[in-house]
Amino acid sequence: MKRVLARFRNSAFRRFIKKHQKYAPLFFFIAGFIFDTLTLGRIDRLYDLIVLCLYMTALTVTLYLYNLVDDGRWKNTLLERYELYLPLAIQFFFGGLSSAYVIYFSRSVSLSKTISFFIILLVLFFANELLKKRISNKYLQFSVYFFISFTFFSFIIPVFISEMNTRIFIFSGFVSLGCTLVLIFLIYSLSPSTRSEISIVRLVAVILSIYMLINAFYFLKLIPPVPLAMDTGVVAHDIKLENNKYIVSYETDEWYVFWRSHRIKFIHHPDENVYVFSSIFAPTALEKSILHRWQWYNETTGEWEIVEDIGYDIKGGRDGGYRGYTYKNNVKSGLWKVEVITEEELVLGVIDFEIIISSSLKPHRMVQKKF
């Protein structure tokens, strides 16, 4: 009886998938996205590491299996029953890995970095939907796979070796490029249908182009220095350390300004300090030097002027991020920003504010918060 019910459920599921085949990949992409959003936390947690490694391994194996289907490689085998589900599994793993990266990127206060990554994901997704053969398009699937793989190794390798710098990023890219090319050449050599469908030279050229583009973004400082991320960034009037807690006093904005903690217009009394507090998430045992780059906007020249770089070291492992602050006393009125950067000058986040120097105005809606 159980065997009959199992066959009925499997048959019903297959009919459902075939009936909604047009939208099934979208559903599985979103399902993978939602699942990780609900379950993943921090990249150095054992559960997260296991899930990411399993996803990447399963995605690689599934791509291999799927690209040999048209050659009848799985005829009269157990895998033949599950050929219909292979593209759905690919979409699920694409969605799961993509959502994991967004979760880790979103820990940063620098929303522009997260939004940029979302845009990349949306472009990849819509490209997949608009192409005639969708996920069966090998140029598309291997391009997305390489992008996902590059991001995966950029996260995982620094976590495992407790070190991150430009050399590690380049090494991560080489590992990803090597794994992708091995998979492509393996499938190409075993699959006559693949050889008739694509030009290996063109596909390798596409992969190399993506590789160079990602590296260009890195050296132009257009992508964040994963797996580091800025959790908190505020401009404050006073900071005290009590019982290993930082008590930060700062001005808050109106209730509807939900996307930042501090008020942009900073009321500064002469001879007082202006503090900038930040907390940096870093995986366990990863140590790194961080700089606060104070910059003032010169309205005459229309350019940002670097006033001072003030640094401090961080050591990972704390859920709330490694905390630190810098301050200045002799400041000018006008627009300011403090870039939280690594020693390679990669931007973790930006704290914007406008200093209004006045001896009579009082700070607006002062609050104290423990970090």
Cβ atoms of residues 153 and 176 within 8 Å: yes
Binning pLDDT at 50, 70 and 90, where does residue 114 land? Answer: very low
Q: What pLDDT is recorded for position 321?
A: 60
Nearest to 39 by CA among 28, 52, 53: 52
Q: What pLDDT is recorded for position 285?
A: 61
Q: How far is CA 265 from the centre of its chain?
A: 30
Tens-digit pLDDT profile for residues 199-235: 999 999 999 999 998 898 888 777 767 777 777 889 9
Q: What pLDDT is recorded for position 9?
A: 46
Least confident of 53-67, 281-295, 297-311: 281-295
Nearest to 98 by CA among 117, 112, 123: 117
Q: What is the mean pLDDT of the chain?
A: 80
Eight-state DSSP code of residue 362: P
Q: Is 352 helix (H, G, I), strand (E, B) or coil?
A: strand
Cβ atoms of residues 286 and 159 within 8 Å: yes
Cβ atoms of residues 300 and 281 within 8 Å: no
User: Using CA atoms, how far apart are residues 344 and 34, in angstroms rounded to an integer?
Assistant: 34
Q: What pLDDT is recorded for position 344?
A: 80
Cβ atoms of residues 299 and 354 within 8 Å: no
Tokens of 214: 């990602």
Binning pLDDT at 50, 70 and 90, where does residue 192 land? Answer: very high
Give me the amino acid identity at 258: F
Q: Going along the chain, which residue ranges are E strands?
A: 229-236, 238-242, 245-251, 265-268, 274-281, 287-298, 303-315, 322-328, 334-342, 347-357, 366-370
> Does residue 323 or residue 287 have the better pLDDT?
323
Eight-state DSSP code of residue 358: -
User: Using CA atoms, how far apart are residues 304 and 337, in angstroms rounded to an integer?
Assistant: 9
| Selection from 76-90, 273-287, 290-304 with the highest mean pLDDT | 290-304
Tens-digit pLDDT profile for residues 120-173: 655 655 555 454 445 567 888 899 899 989 989 988 898 888 777 888 899 999
Domains of the chain, each with CATH number or no CATH: 2-219 (no CATH), 229-370 (2.60.40.1930)
Tens-digit pLDDT profile for residues 44-98: 677 788 888 999 999 999 999 999 988 888 888 888 887 878 888 887 888 778 7
Q: Once rounded to an integer, what is the mean pLDDT over residues 99-109?
A: 64
Q: What pLDDT is recorded for position 1?
A: 42
| Residues above pLDDT 90, as percent of the chain | 31
Q: What pLDDT is recorded for position 86?
A: 85
Give me the amino acid identity at 153: F
Pairing status of strand 334-342 against strand 287-298: antiparallel
Eight-state DSSP code of residue 124: H
Binning pLDDT at 50, 70 and 90, where does residue 319 land? Answer: low
The CA distances from residue 16 to 22, 54, 85, 134, 325, in Å, are 11, 27, 12, 19, 57
Size of the chain, expressed as the number of residues it contains: 371
Residue with tokens 């120097």: 357
Tens-digit pLDDT profile for residues 228-248: 777 788 999 999 988 888 899
Q: What pLDDT is recorded for position 32?
A: 62
Q: What pLDDT is recorded for position 105?
A: 64
Pairing status of strand 303-315 against strand 229-236: unpaired
Nearest to 168 by CA among 249, 228, 121: 228
Q: What pLDDT is recorded for position 244?
A: 81
Q: What pLDDT is recorded for position 304?
A: 94
Binning pLDDT at 50, 70 and 90, where does residue 12 land? Answer: low
User: Using CA atoms, how far apart are residues 195 and 167, in angstroms rounded to an integer?
Assistant: 36
